[in-house]
């Protein structure tokens, strides 16, 4: 009988624990949701700041670009941007001279070297 009384008290305390745990779980869930919303706001603010930074940087860069206009008969040098430093550190990245034979739309130019060999390049920037 004593055992029954003890189990009844234990059952009541477990019920009390469950209600406390339920309340604790509910508060913890609410806090996680608030933290998640705050994190989402911080992420959106960072995204917006990055977008503004990129726009300003692009505007600054575009303002400094000077368009190059080539005409048939111009003498030009060709810049090799893929030449690495080690295979000849002091080797010039410029080759030429070449003559502009024809200027095509969208930055394509036909060049002729001193031997008369024609090739096409695309001018960017």
Per-residue pLDDT of 39-80, as tens digits, reads: 999 999 999 999 999 999 999 999 998 888 889 999 999 888
CA separation for the pair 118, 41 (Å, rounded)? 58
CB half-sphere exposure, 5, CA atoms < 13 A = 2
Q: Which of 6-10, 78-82, 110-114 has the highest mean pLDDT?
A: 110-114
Among the residue ranges 11-15, 26-30, 39-43, 118-122, the one predicted with the least confidence is 11-15
pTM of the model: 0.47
Which pLDDT band, with edges at 50, 70 and 90, does 1 fall under?
A: very low
CA separation for the pair 78, 74 (Å, rounded)? 12
Q: Which two tokens stand for residue 41?
A: 């706001």
Residue 36 has pLDDT above 80, yes or no: yes
């Amino acid at each position: 009988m004593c055992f029954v009384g003890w189990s009844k008290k234990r059952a009541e305390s477990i019920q009390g624990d469950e209600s406390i745990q339920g309340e604790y779980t509910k508060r913890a869930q609410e806090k996680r949701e608030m933290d998640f919303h705050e994190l989402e706001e911080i992420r959106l603010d960072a995204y917006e700041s990055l977008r503004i930074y990129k726009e300003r940087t692009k505007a600054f860069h575009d303002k400094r670009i000077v368009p190059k206009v080539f005409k048939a008969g111009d003498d030009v040098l060709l810049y090799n941007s893929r030449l690495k430093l080690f295979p000849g550190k002091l080797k010039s990245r410029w080759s030429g001279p070449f003559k502009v034979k024809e200027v095509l739309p969208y930055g394509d130019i036909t060049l002729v070297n001193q031997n008369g060999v024609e090739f096409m390049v695309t001018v960017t920037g």
